[in-house]
Structure 1
Amino acid sequence: MRARLTLLVAATTVLMLLAFLVPLAVLIRQVAQDRALGRADDVVQSIVPLAATGDTGALRLTVEAQTVPVTVFLPDGDVLGAPAEPTPAVLLAAARHGSLTVATAAGRELVVPVVGAGGATVVIRTLVTEAELTRGVTRAWATLAALGVTLVLLGLFVADRLARAIIRPISELSAVSHRLAGAELTARAEESGPPELREVAGALNHLAGRIQDLLAAERERVADLSHRLRTPLTALRLEAESLRDADESARVAAATDQLARAVTSVIQQTRRADAPVRLAGCDATAVVAARVAFWAVLAEDTGRALHQELPSGPAPVAVPADDLAAALDALLGNVFAHTPDGTALSVGLAALPEGGAVLTVADDGPGFPAALATGRGASGGGSTGLGLDIARQVAAAFDLSPPGTPGAVIRLTLTAP
């Protein structure tokens, strides 16, 4: 925008200067020509009275005293002053007894015939060269060109200053909007510049405040809801401890502890400050192995064949362990909820050469429905619709097998720490 404003001012200034300087340059040249011709005519007119008297001696002295080259053609063929041959203009003036101004290759030729007392015609001729006709024109044009360039540069300087005064508040608004997009909700724009920009800055600040209030209220509601879950979780843990089967009691207690940790994580995340917090990564191999071992018990109870392929060593990823476990639990939970008992499933984790890993969850069920709703909170299967979204949030890339085809495959690309 700054460049466009400067270019607009430059174009406008140049057009105005052309409209003013071009006619002025033509006028200067015309004035120089008229001045040179006027001087020559004054010299000729000063000689005319002597030519009419027929006093050849006085006429010769007067012609030789002129600074302008003047030639006088006498009736007897003699020539006084600057040597020259009779030109067609001289012959025509003598025949018609009329003054002439003729343009030639050398300049402008002024011819004035004078009829003496005896009726004989004396012709006075002078030549105004091109140098005389354009004397001072080049210097005047150079001055005009320098003036034009100076005015253009001055216009560009003023336009740049004005454009900068307009662009600076816009740049500040853009910077504040990027800070807000980066979760820096305390960022506010300075209300400066033209009235329209001040109004936009005020609206952006109001929007930022409103977003901050809504997020704070949302965090409080989620934290309150999560806190309410602690009471039934405590009761569930007590029920697990009262089971007679030790293995069953341990399994239910472990699931209860996992749920309690997830609830605690939700409370902590919703009560964080506005500034984003960089969380530590985890070993994806260990997390996936632990969660597969947990779900293997349920898979055995429902007659499902569970196959896993994990790296032989650690696979560090830039995802917290709780978040990765929650994402895998959401995907496996969808498999158990939306496929019939006995459907085989597999979990694969492959380390990437450049760092990170790819987590794949697949099953032999009917696959995704043709009209799959993948938006947050949207579901076509009677669920909350948040399972895929939980998994999507931890992944740099999220791929699904085509809807309507048998078998569901979900791949999560996890970045390196």
Structure 2
Amino acid sequence: MKKYYEFIPVSGFKAAGVYCGIKKDKSKKDLSVIYSETKAVSAATFTTNKVKAAPVQINMKNINNDNTQAIVVNSGNANACTGEKGFDDALNMISTLADELNLSPDEVLVASTGIIGVPMPMEKIIPGIKEAASTLSPIGFEDASKGILTTDSSTKTVSVEFTIDDKSVVISGMAKGSGMIHPNMATMLGFILTDASITKKMLQKALSDSVSDSFNMISVDGDTSTNDMVIMLANGKSNNKIINMDNGIYNKFKAALDIVNVELAKMIAKDGEGATKLIEVNLSGGKSKEDAKLCAKSIITSNLVKSAFFGSDANWGRVLCSMGYSGGDFIPEDVELFFESKKGKIQLVKNGVGLSLDEKLAKEILLEDYIKIIVDLKNGEYSAKAWGCDLSYDYVKINASYRS
């Protein structure tokens, strides 16, 4: 498999990104369209927040349709908590794109991200959709990846090329997310395309399982958004033998999808609002998969842990404390804990007890911008990974004036 940190064009797909006037800054694109020239099967996962934006509620229904050929996305306005008018606006976005591409509205999905509770400026969005539809291109994904961003500092794109039955297959993904990020998805949108031939049932299985170990294992600030979704389309243009069961070929496809989703998840975690460091938790020795995930998630979501890493303070007690209230089953007296970066690796805890600490080495390790927290529960064979970032002064500054 070949991995690329860019969006490699996928056979049969086109995209466009434009500025239509939702955002104040005219240099920032704010509307994107993704289009499959042929019918595609689709799969999705959605936010667990009870307060769901209109596009989420509509897509939760439309994702069950046999085919999907297009997605329209706007940034700068979440279309959440906007009442019946918000639903009508989302449906209007769908019908406008459907008319432009000669599709049924049932074949179009919609996504929004941005400020909550503000009416959609449809007088700007409708012309924007028409412009994007008229400029669709196989090389339009760079612009499309920009049109979905809000407070992100950069685009997030990953692609993997591999073979199935001697047929070249591509999976390419783009995502946005920087704040309001918490396990069980985040203020994030993800759009993943593939030319693989796969049934809708197996595509949904692959995506759901992959999201569980990627996007659902990141945290920036502990807030789960109203608009989160990951949508995947597969149009079968690679002409491989259709993947219709859980076998070796499916596992190969799933492994490629995992690479895309994990890398995108890490990019979101690293780009947390105000973040200076990417933190990765590698936890092993869990009694069960659930125990391992609970402990790993709890570490990465702890504001005290995140604050300590911002200050490059080797306050390992906060790590053990966060595991203790996670709900995961483990024996504290068995735990071993390490911190690691490119500056080295240091053990801080053995058999649940703190070791004599080389403060100088610990500081050097924690001053790096990519740090691993390595935990061995020594209580089983299950493992989990989670990703997050430090919590800085700038996070408060950004979110204190988000609407302005």
- The TM-score normalised by the length of structure 2 is 0.20
The structure that is helix-richer by fraction is 1
The structure that is strand-richer by fraction is 2
Higher relative contact order (CA 8 A, sep 6+): 2
